[in-house]
Structure 1
Amino acid sequence: MSASDREHDIVLYGATGFVGKLTAQYLAAHGGNARIALAGRSADRLLAVRDSLGEAAQSWPLVVADASEPSTLNDMAASTRVVVTTVGPYLKYGLPLVGACAAAGTDYADLTGEPLFERKAIDLYHKQALDNGARIVHACGFDSIPSDLTVFALYRRAESDGAGQLGDTNFVVRRFAGGVSGGTVASMAELAREASLDPEARRLLDDPYTLSPDRAAEPELGAQPDARWRRGRDIAPELDGYWVGAFAMAIPNTRVVRRSNALLDYAYGRRFEYAEQMSLGRSILAPVAAAMATAGNVATVELGSRFLNRVPRSALERVLPKPGTGPSDRAREQGHYTVETYTTTSSGARYVARMSQKGDPGYKATSVLLGESGLALALDRDKLSDLHGILTPAAAMGDALLARFPGAGVSLEVSRLN
């Protein structure tokens, strides 16, 4: 069955979870004429979600599917052009669905921030997805679309200006208000546990090019630390007076961006270097805060993996936030983020890409980004790249997302600085 003959345009898998419900709400409001279905383990819970979505969604079909029953995933994947999934931790639950979509030639988008899951998906299913014409797109939420798309937008602008390739490029979180979802915490715990048990997993997490399609082809650019603190002026004159420290999601985000460069045949440049950090302000205490944030990030990675190796999974599950939980409506509405990505090109041109959204980054903003990713894959086929296989947001649908952002309330602007 070809993609155009499928029963659905989008199946939202995990629709009864916290972010799944938010994504369903977004699609009900902005999905237009897309043929959308809701999927999950419980028909009753799916019905309750659909009933809460208003008139636009009352005709949406319900699909019962469970990661523990591969045949249900196969049937679901074969019925639709795109599967959008919020079911994590992905390292624990996600690979069977990736395999089902790769086998069916079905496009796919998820919210993972787990490099080890992405690496396993690449190793197991990239060739099958490529052969069957599937686009498997990881990291379609706050992790890692702001990172991936700001760099892609910088590349497009420098290309248009004839300003050369991207060189030293730095992503800086300037403003952030919001929480961390139970699903994200569970994913990080699963990642740390895997690294603690498997030396090869730890080696992969330490490798800045762990998601590369061809590790031997990557340039050797020296150390590219994921956790460091420094003066803002070391990144750009516009940040003079500010201090920056480690950004908690730098490990997954930086590897996604470097994979994008490789998948796009090093369009960003062979000397492209990329790092992520968070602004800690310009007060007298800012350098201390930056140093503490960086030290805390390192300690979390180093000590957390050792600790988790000694704690039974059942005990952790009792104390960590539960997947499917999240903040109140008011807290989600009050959240927001603004990021800036600075680059200097091979010709010496300097640019900044600024991206911002209203809404809690891990919940409301993420549901918008995931919903728009699903709609782009399903409806904007003429704007998608020609690439297939295990992809990144920029490599699969960079131009389509840039075109969709204004209508989705996502601001992304590129300015030349010299």
Structure 2
Amino acid sequence: MARTAELDFVIFGATGFTGRLIAKRLADTYGDGGKYRWGLAGRDGPGLAYLRDRLGWPRLPLILADVNDPRSLDEMARRARFVLSAVGPYQLYGAPVLEACLREGAGYVDMCGEPHWMADMIRRYDAKARERGVTALLSCGFDSTVWELGVMAVQETAQARFARPAPEVRSRLLRMRGALSGGTAATARETISRMMGSPQVAALLRDPFALTPGFRGPEQPDGESVRFDPDIARTVGPILMAAINTKNIHRSNFLQGHPWGRDFRYEELAVIDEEEVSDGGSPLAATAPRPGDGPPLSVLEAGYFDIMVIGIDPSGRRIACEVRAKGDPAYLATSRIVSEILAAASEAPSLPAGLWTAGAALGTGLADRLTRSADVIFTTSVLAKG
């Protein structure tokens, strides 16, 4: 049975760059006190009030909460069925929020792209969340929900057409235009620092099965090669986000009981001869934005992504799913995606307890919802044999 609370969900870190985008998306789409009851939370009271005024919904509840004040986090979690943590880097500020949700029985949602922190949270809290009936959805956004749902769409079609899953899936980032925020820059710097200071963290970041405790599948593609891909007739090479998405794809298969097989192999590469693919600048540059800052709306609106996910069965038959959307992937598109994940989670009569990926917890219907309500388009087709 779904937990009852004053609010369906609350955005913690609402005055941050991504938090503001999510708040605006929810306000523009759902208003306040309508279909969903939601609120804004953070440590900056005047900032929250200013944001509420800008959103134009004066009845939105404001909740003061600070990661350094566990009682305030408990009060926030007590008032909401789900808490969206938009405060990063998660490796610095994420654990207290998740811990408060576990204490109070609230669901937890984040947009984490920090696998070493996620592995630590799974080790420390997955069993406790299952015992307490708490659902935590990690990595909800461009990384890694759209990639996970693309794989799920391919596997669903392969099962329907070929009566078996595809044991190998290759994802290709065809085109992307994205920018950089201060929060992302801070996360990258912190992750690099920890990786350089800890051989264990460095090894975990290289391990495709870092998020599947107790299970190791077959040897995976190295993800470092540069080669011509005949399926898309383009040259492809390594992509930074594969270090996040590959682990979440394997965790999704693991959480669902290996419907794609225990021998499943996954590879993620990007087209490297496409001049429009952009990372928006280096997080290590002196000109990188500060936490809380990010590109203007005009830059965000000029962004986009286009992904091709290809499943291959043993006879060489291929299923493809193209996933595309307009808007900066990490910010504008993610704000739409995570808003709908919050809405879907709050509507679900029940969800599996523990630390989950969004696709594995909410099912393939999430892709349909994102197409209807978040302008993320999934197109599945059968390709000729390679």
TM-score of the pair, normalised by structure 2? 0.92
Q: Report the alpha carbon displacement of residue 162 of structure 1 after superposing the two structures with TM.
A: 4.3
Q: How does 1:228-307 map to 2 (within 5 A)?
A: 228-233=225-230, 236=231, 239-240=232-233, 242-281=234-273
Aligned to 1:111: 111
CA distance in 2, matches of 1:182, 1:155: 36
- The one-letter code of the counterpart of 2:203 is R
* Aligned residues of 2:116 and 2:201 also touching (Cα < 8 A): yes
CA distance in 2, matches of 1:227, 1:44: 47
Aligned CA distance change for structure 1 residues 340 and 71 (closer, same or farther; 3 Å) = same
- The one-letter code of the counterpart of 2:336 is V
Aligned to 1:350: 318
Find the partner of 1:397 among 359, 362, 366: 362
Aligned to 2:219: 222
CA distance in 2, matches of 1:400, 1:71: 37
Q: Decide which moves more: 111-120 or 98-107.
A: 98-107
Q: Report the alpha carbon displacement of residue 246 of structure 1 after superposing the two structures with TM.
A: 1.0
- The one-letter code of the counterpart of 2:371 is P
Structure number with higher helix proportion? 1
- Tell me the secondary structure at the aligned position of residue 126 of structure 1: helix
- The one-letter code of the counterpart of 2:311 is T
- The one-letter code of the counterpart of 1:340 is M
CA distance in 2, matches of 1:326, 1:117: 24
* Aligned residues of 2:42 and 2:66 also touching (Cα < 8 A): yes
- Tell me the secondary structure at the aligned position of residue 185 of structure 1: helix
Could you tell me which runs of 5 or more consecutive residues in structure 1 were left unpaired when the two chains were aligned.
294-299, 305-315
CA distance in 2, matches of 1:275, 1:4: 38
* Aligned residues of 1:89 and 1:183 also touching (Cα < 8 A): yes
- The one-letter code of the counterpart of 2:320 is V
- The one-letter code of the counterpart of 2:216 is E
CA distance in 2, matches of 1:317, 1:154: 38
Find the partner of 1:413 among 348, 371, 379: 379
Residues 71-100 of structure 1, C-alpha deviation per residue, up to 9 Å, x if partnerless? Answer: 111111121111112100000100111111
Aligned to 1:136: 136
Aligned to 1:101: 101
- Tell me the secondary structure at the aligned position of residue 219 of structure 2: coil
CA distance in 1, matches of 2:223, 2:134: 31
Aligned CA distance change for structure 1 residues 319 and 336 (closer, same or farther; 3 Å) = closer
Aligned to 1:340: 308
Q: Report the alpha carbon displacement of residue 317 of structure 1 after superposing the two structures with TM.
A: 10
Aligned CA distance change for structure 1 residues 224 and 105 (closer, same or farther; 3 Å) = farther
* Aligned residues of 1:122 and 1:390 also touching (Cα < 8 A): yes
The alignment yields a C-alpha RMSD, in angstroms, of: 2.3
Q: Report the alpha carbon displacement of residue 167 of structure 1 after superposing the two structures with TM.
A: 1.7
* Aligned residues of 2:321 and 2:378 also touching (Cα < 8 A): yes
Q: Decide which moves more: 84-93 or 70-79.
A: 70-79
Q: Report the alpha carbon displacement of residue 342 of structure 1 after superposing the two structures with TM.
A: 0.7
CA distance in 2, matches of 1:11, 1:246: 37
Identity %: 34
Aligned to 2:9: 10
- Tell me the secondary structure at the aligned position of residue 245 of structure 2: helix
* Aligned residues of 1:405 and 1:411 also touching (Cα < 8 A): yes
CA distance in 2, matches of 1:66, 1:105: 19
Q: How does 1:181-200 map to 2 (within 5 A)?
A: 181-200=181-200
- The one-letter code of the counterpart of 1:8 is L
Aligned to 1:365: 333
Matched, 1:153 2:153: yes
Aligned to 1:78: 78
* Aligned residues of 1:209 and 1:258 also touching (Cα < 8 A): yes
CA distance in 2, matches of 1:274, 1:185: 27
Residues 6-63 of structure 1, C-alpha deviation per residue, up to 9 Å, x if partnerless? Answer: 0100101111011101100111122351000100101110011111112xx3211000
Q: Report the alpha carbon displacement of residue 206 of structure 1 after superposing the two structures with TM.
A: 2.0
Q: Report the alpha carbon displacement of residue 415 of structure 1 after superposing the two structures with TM.
A: 0.9
CA distance in 2, matches of 1:101, 1:162: 42
- The one-letter code of the counterpart of 1:206 is R
Q: How does 1:301-316 map to 2 (within 5 A)?
A: none
Aligned to 1:310: none
TM-score of the pair, normalised by structure 1? 0.85
- The one-letter code of the counterpart of 1:23 is I
Q: Decide which moves more: 191-200 or 395-404.
A: 395-404
- Tell me the secondary structure at the aligned position of residue 268 of structure 2: strand
- Tell me the secondary structure at the aligned position of residue 175 of structure 2: strand
Aligned to 1:26: 25
Q: How does 1:366-381 map to 2 (within 5 A)?
A: 366-379=334-347, 381=348
Aligned CA distance change for structure 1 residues 92 and 226 (closer, same or farther; 3 Å) = farther
Residues 218-274 of structure 1, C-alpha deviation per residue, up to 9 Å, x if partnerless? Answer: 22x2243232211111xx2xx12x101111211011101111011111111222111
CA distance in 2, matches of 1:133, 1:114: 24
* Aligned residues of 1:264 and 1:395 also touching (Cα < 8 A): yes
Q: Decide which moves more: 110-119 or 406-415.
A: 406-415
Aligned CA distance change for structure 1 residues 244 and 130 (closer, same or farther; 3 Å) = same
CA distance in 1, matches of 2:220, 2:356: 25
- The one-letter code of the counterpart of 2:306 is T
Could you tell me which runs of 5 or more consecutive residues in structure 2 were left unpaired when the two chains were aligned.
none
- The one-letter code of the counterpart of 1:412 is F
